Amino acid sequence: MPTASTVSIKILNAWARPSATVSKNNNSAIYFEIFNDSDLDYNLVNVSSDIANKVELHKSFVDEKGVSKMVKLDKLVIPAKSSAILQPGGMHIMLLDLRTILKVGDNFDLSLYFDNGLQKVVQVEVKTK
């Protein structure tokens, strides 16, 4: 099983949107760049954080009628020697049913789980962009 010292998965610029209140429908989104410097594809298959009751991989898009939509992804493939960008209007991580208010300047941990057993913990900063 790969360890953090033997793999070349790097996460940069992890940030989340602030939230207004703690309520059943209070959500936020996380964005970052993920780099894979290895010779193998990596599949991000699960995400978790203590600050939300549910955390999911999502993709936003505009359909053929011009309507913005969002779908849950089963995995995010990071090809060998490549990267993926999670950004507003595209792929992102949804924090659903937040357990706390996210204020600008706050930080929290996000755990990333890959199908080969690798787990990485990323520090996420709450900010506006």
Q: From CA 109, how far away is CA 23, in angstroms rounded?
A: 21
Work out the pLDDT band at 23, boundaries 50, 70, 90.
low
**Do the Cβ atoms of 109 and 123 come closer than 8 Å?**
yes
Residue 73 lies in a domain: yes
Q: From CA 62, how far away is CA 70, in angstroms rounded?
A: 9
84-125 per-position pLDDT tens digit: 999 999 999 999 999 999 999 999 999 999 999 999 999 999
Number of structural domains (the chain) is 1
Q: Give residue 98's domain range.
A: 9-126
Q: From CA 75, how far away is CA 83, in angstroms rounded?
A: 14
> The pTM is what?
0.89
Residue 1 lies in a domain: no
Residue 2 lies in a domain: no
CATH number at residue 79: 2.60.40.1890
pLDDT at 27: 93
